[in-house]
Amino acid sequence: MKKTLYIKAAVFLLLSLLLPVCSQVLAGQKTHTVFFEGEDNELHVYRINGSKPGKTLLIVGGIQGDEPGGFLAADFYADFLLEKGNLIVVPRANFPSILKKERQINQDMNRKFLDDDISNYEARVVNVLKKLICESDCFINLHEGSGIYSNKWESEYKSPQRFGQSIIADDSFLKKQDPKENVNLKEMAQKVIEKINRHIKDKEYFFHFNNHKTDHPDSIHKEQLKSATYYAHNVCKIPAFGIESAKSLPLEQKVRQHIYAINAFMEILGIIPQTPGIDLKKPEMQYMIISVNNSIPVVVGKMQHLKIHRGDIVEILDIVANYERGLSVDVIGLGNQFNDMKKKLIINEPTRIVAKKDFYKCGSVFLDIDTKSLKQEPQLTLSESGDTLILRYKLKINGNLKIVDNYSHVNIRKGDKFVIEDILAGKVDPSKYIVNFKGFVGNLHNNGGEDRGYLIDTSKDVLMERYSLGKKGRHYYVLTTLNGKEVGKIFIDIQL
């Protein structure tokens, strides 16, 4: 037992030594680091660096799991992009307590920042948070507080002991070594409070500055010596605040108040968001949701095969991708030229469904025709390769399907109507390839070279002779490339 503990400690030490290197973020980028991956207390840290350098604000939510106003607000900032300055966002510091909707599991995580030798997951998370705090220029810890804070006793519910609707600091000033660098915490908090209160109609719910005077002998909040903000104040010497929305308010209002507070702190620190943030990640489909003969929909992953029977009615109900908008599907050889989503299509031949985000192809699934088994529920076969490891071409000549091998010759007559329906490409998603009939332009508006799905009517002068071999208009070829490299070819010989 002890041995594994030592190993774990050594691994953690190693990780923490490596971390500053791994998490180096270039300007204008963001990184997502996962600590304790696979454990219940998995910790997600998002670092967002603006294109221009500036101050770093650390936003922590969910250090106590029963305060959703804080972690739901922090969550929005994990996806931010910045023009200037930096954010470190830890939306869910204490995930196990969030799952239980409880303040704590073993111990209150926000009382473990002073000497504490109890070893548990809370301690390990706190160790990470301590490092993040000292890396930052300012730290805000997002909470929900019970009752409403008031500097005089008004009622059991509204008093100096209460936390709700306040911005808490451990003192009114942060004293630095050089007194000229002292930070007026009260003034900073007041600026933020003024911005939050603009959105609050009922004066009873106005935010106030709540000075805990944590290390004063007469402090009524001595337990706060063990808190994250006091660690920031006392050890890292950075301005740190607890933002407390009143627990009794509606969730949306609590989240909004936190958002007003975060935005105001960003403004004070000169951290400027990109509006809107631009993150042009490569479109990738994860899966399609398909119903066969009005059955309960099945989920079919990228490159998976769905076995159906000839004549089945297939309807693609939805696709899930790393984008939500601009999505469509194209059932090769069926449907219309735009979008085949939510259309009931009768499938008589094996085909492929291509998912698209705008005009970018982002994944395929296959519809295979099962001729052996009896008509029953559609079967999802998990084989990713299908039975075709070699590149083959699925052609339609005058309406008749023809499958031909790579590098073979296809004889047609002038006047034939010719379509390259698709390629069968084994393990690789066929939409990653470009299949180009040299001498034919499929898409007149945007000639990317892709010619699958276009009718090539050889009775008309749609082929450019100068692209034919020998330039006589008799021998053409179809070139298939993957990432710009030739992977296959077929030769089209036309009898005039």
**Contact residues for Zn ion, defined by CB under 5 A:** 64, 67, 143
Nearest CB to Zn ion, comparing residues 67 and 122? 67
Nearest CB to Zn ion, comparing residues 239 and 242? 242
End-to-end Cα separation, the chain, in angstroms? 83
Positions of E strands within 160-251: 166-169, 173-174, 183-184, 208-211, 240-246
Closest approach, Cβ 248 to Zn ion, in A, equals: 14
Q: Give the type of residue at 50.
A: G
Nearest CB to Zn ion, comparing residues 67 and 421? 67
Reported as type and span, the H/E element at residue 294 is none
With a CB cutoff of 8 Å and minimum separation 6, the contacts of 325 are none
Nearest CB to Zn ion, comparing residues 214 and 468? 214
Closest approach, Cβ 136 to Zn ion, in A, equals: 19
Closest approach, Cβ 267 to Zn ion, in A, equals: 24
Closest approach, Cβ 314 to Zn ion, in A, equals: 52
With a CB cutoff of 8 Å and minimum separation 6, the contacts of 336 are 343
Task: Residue 319: name the closest of 308, 309, 331, 311 by CA.
Answer: 331
Q: Which residue is nearest to Zn ion (CB)?
A: 143
Distance CA 435, CA 1 (A): 60
Distance CA 10, CA 130 (A): 19
Q: Tell me what percent of the chain is helix, strand and coil, each rounded to the nearest 5.
A: 25, 35, 40
Closest approach, Cβ 213 to Zn ion, in A, equals: 19
Closest approach, Cβ 111 to Zn ion, in A, equals: 11
Distance CA 260, CA 7 (A): 44
* Cβ neighbours of 357 (radius 10 Å): 21
Nearest CB to Zn ion, comparing residues 61 and 333? 61
Nearest CB to Zn ion, comparing residues 254 and 356? 254
Closest approach, Cβ 143 to Zn ion, in A, equals: 3
Tokens of 275: 């509006």
CB 374 within 8 A of CB 307: no
Nearest CB to Zn ion, comparing residues 64 and 97? 64
